[in-house]
Structure 1
Amino acid sequence: MDLVTVVAVISADPQDMQPIVAGLYSTEQQPEKVACPNILQGALEESNVKMISEISRMIKLHRIYEGVDKMLEIKHDRRRKMVDTVLRVS
């Protein structure tokens, strides 16, 4: 059985890291070792997304979109009626 050594490191500027694939990142900077890393086997991370607030935000944005769509439809209908009226009068 082969043993693998895992070293916990941190980047001085996390914004400089470029995603490669599947949660792996690359950086030109020299990483620094973490003094006392806390690594838990089989632990699950909590989501950084607040589901209820995101769904509420999505519903709010959808309603705004529908309102703007309706406003544009009404504006288009008004213009069409105006053109019809002008053509009938002419």
Structure 2
Amino acid sequence: MTALTALQAVRDKAKAQEGRQVLITGAAGGVGTFAVQLAHAPGARVTAVASTPELDAVRALGADHVIDYTCEDFPAGPRRYDAIIDIAG
């Protein structure tokens, strides 16, 4: 079920493809780990949001950028995204 949820979010809603910027909150959780991989596979630039202990793990899944939500107020940051998959919200 987690993989199907991630697939629907990434493919159907975010329309992840080469050149698109996708932000994934909750990237280290069940749905998030699939979402990072599924968004990265067609060439989307993936920014993953997770806590400090999970940063290396989400990088290994294919995240191009990682944000540690315990240290950075990422919603207030200057980056813009084509799609946001808010699993943690």
TM over 0.5: no
Q: Give the structure with the larger strand fraction.
A: 2
In our comparison, the structure showing a higher alpha carbon Rg is 1
Structure 1 length-normalised TM: 0.16
What is the TM-score when the length of structure 2 is the normalising length? 0.17
* Higher helix residue share: 1
